[in-house]
């Protein structure tokens, strides 16, 4: 009987979409001809404490304020979702964001890299979770599995500024907190590279409400519960962002051009340089040898963390257990400390990360798909009758 119950649970979990990537794109170059992507082609640092910056487009309905702490992303009601998006793309690179995330049950702060064909790399924080941050990735918008998300210990991200980073090359993605690696995804581990993020990406920063009154049950459970707007405003403080565009190893990049019939591989992207020429050789070049950072070398010294893969048991229980995951947290010796301070276990981040990293089905972006408890109950009832 127990095996029948497990089998029924497996069926309903496989049928239910527990996670969703950011599911919109203005033009998917794998489906039709699209305009070339404007390349950043350099390294840029934006200090939001000095005000707005023309590198970013402000989403409709977004009203930001700026002070000495940076850009303030404020939520007063459940329809608020302040968001900014870079108007230039990077083709592999490194992004560092200094942020004090928004508090509040059901409030989500997010830092996302996303491409035209819905490759995606994420950092996300729940306002009611004071013990950890989440990472996730998607390839080609594929949400057919839910083993990509992971949690990483960090102390009071709502009360302290931390630096969260993504280093992204054609070989791997590395996530870091205060320059210490907490996770690595290798190309081959993302379905043999077919779901590895590898096409030019924009950078998106924002906050949104997962604990909405009309949100799906699974989304609300993941977010920790409904949002109490009597506690508003909920404010995230983005202090700064540094963006390095590796341009797939090509200097003076101005545009990224998708070849006709692109399959969404990095080899199908041409780098257009300042003189208007196209360097097809860029598609097979190393994405960055000269620009590779300490995170890359750290990951290659056998201290790399495991890629986000969970068992069915983890996937089954974690969709409704974000709150309990928070309480399990980690000891002080494993927890990241604010930007500019020393960890209590300095130098142990990479080696301890596998023990503290838990693969969980997380959600990403403003459009979420919840899981149907009614469907689960019906399936379990059917199993009992077998």
* 183-241: pLDDT as tens digits: 999 999 999 999 999 999 999 999 999 999 999 999 999 999 999 999 999 999 999 99
Catalytic residue among 78, 120, 167, 184: 120
- Match domain 17-370 to its CATH number in 2.30.110.10, 3.40.190.10, 2.60.120.200, 3.50.30.40: 2.60.120.200
Torsion over CA: 26, 30, 33, 37 (sign): positive
Residues of the chain with pLDDT below 70 are 1-23, 276-386
184 is catalytic: no
3-state secondary structure of 302: helix
pTM above 0.85, yes or no: no
CA-to-CA distance for 147 and 34, rounded, in angstroms? Answer: 31
CA-to-CA distance for 252 and 327, rounded, in angstroms? Answer: 48
244: number of Cβ within 10 Å:
21
78 is catalytic: no
Residue 226 tokens read as 């409904």
From residue 226, alpha-carbon distances to 124, 149, 236, 360, 371 in Å are 18, 22, 19, 21, 16
pLDDT reported for residue 144 = 87
Catalytic residue among 98, 124, 184, 334: 124
């Amino acid at each position: 009987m127990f095996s029948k119950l497990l089998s029924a649970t497996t069926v309903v979990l496989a049928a239910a979409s527990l996670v969703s990537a950011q599911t919109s794109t203005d033009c998917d170059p794998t489906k039709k001809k699209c305009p070339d992507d404007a390349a950043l082609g350099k390294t840029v640092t934006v200090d939001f404490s000095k005000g707005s910056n023309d590198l970013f487009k402000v989403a409709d309905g977004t009203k930001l304020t700026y002070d000495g702490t940076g850009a303030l992303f404020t939520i007063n009601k459940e329809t608020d979702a302040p968001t900014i998006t870079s108007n230039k793309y990077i083709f592999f690179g490194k992004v560092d964001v200094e942020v004090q995330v928004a508090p509040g049950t059901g409030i989500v702060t997010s830092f996302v890299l996303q491409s035209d064909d819905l490759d995606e790399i994420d950092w996300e924080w729940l306002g009611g979770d004071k013990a950890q941050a989440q990472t996730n990735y998607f390839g080609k918008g594929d949400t057919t599995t839910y083993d990509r998300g992971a949690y990483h210990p960090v102390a009071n991200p709502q009360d302290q500024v931390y630096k969260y980073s993504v280093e992204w090359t054609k070989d791997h993605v590395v996530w870091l907190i205060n320059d210490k690696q907490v996770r690595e995804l290798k190309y081959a581990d993302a379905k043999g590279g077919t779901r590895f993020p590898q096409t030019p990406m924009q950078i998106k920063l924002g906050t949104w409400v997962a604990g909405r009154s009309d949100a799906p049950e699974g989304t609300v459970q993941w977010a920790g519960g409904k949002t109490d707007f009597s506690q508003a405003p909920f404010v995230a403080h983005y202090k700064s962002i540094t963006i390095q565009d590796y341009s797939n190893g090509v200097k003076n990049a101005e545009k990224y051009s998708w070849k006709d019939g692109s399959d969404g591989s990095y080899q199908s992207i041409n780098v257009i340089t300042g003189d208007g020429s196209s360097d097809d050789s860029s598609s097979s070049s190393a994405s960055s040898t000269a620009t590779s950072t300490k995170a890359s070398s750290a990951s290659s010294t056998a201290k790399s963390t495991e890629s986000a893969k969970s068992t069915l048991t983890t996937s089954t229980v974690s969709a409704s257990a974000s709150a309990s995951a928070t309480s399990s947290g980690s000891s002080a010796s494993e927890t990241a400390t604010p930007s500019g301070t020393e960890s209590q276990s300095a130098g142990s981040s990479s080696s301890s990360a596998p023990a503290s990293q838990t693969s969980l089905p997380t959600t990403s972006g403003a459009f979420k798909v919840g899981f149907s408890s009614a469907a689960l109950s019906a399936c379990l009832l059917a199993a009992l009758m077998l």
